[in-house]
Amino acid sequence: MVKLTHGPAASGPSSSLGIMRFFDVDTGGPKLSPEFVVGLALAVIILILLLKNFNVF
């Protein structure tokens, strides 16, 4: 458990500050929109259903 000091030097736990810094960093990976990811997932689901209907699996 983290003990906080009282007074002007009081701050939150350092672990929560590290998480905020982690999410602020841009890693330069592929940029995918949420719409593309949902569309891709739906396309894979439809493909699997079609293949099952033609007894490929």
Residue 56 CB-density burial (10 A; 0-12 exposed, 13-18 middle, 19+ buried): exposed
Residue 55: pLDDT band by 50, 70, 90 thresholds? confident
pLDDT top residue among 32 and 38: 38
Q: Which two tokens stand for residue 46?
A: 């439809």
Please tell me the predicted confidence (pLDDT) of residue 33. Answer: 93
- pTM of the full structure: 0.51
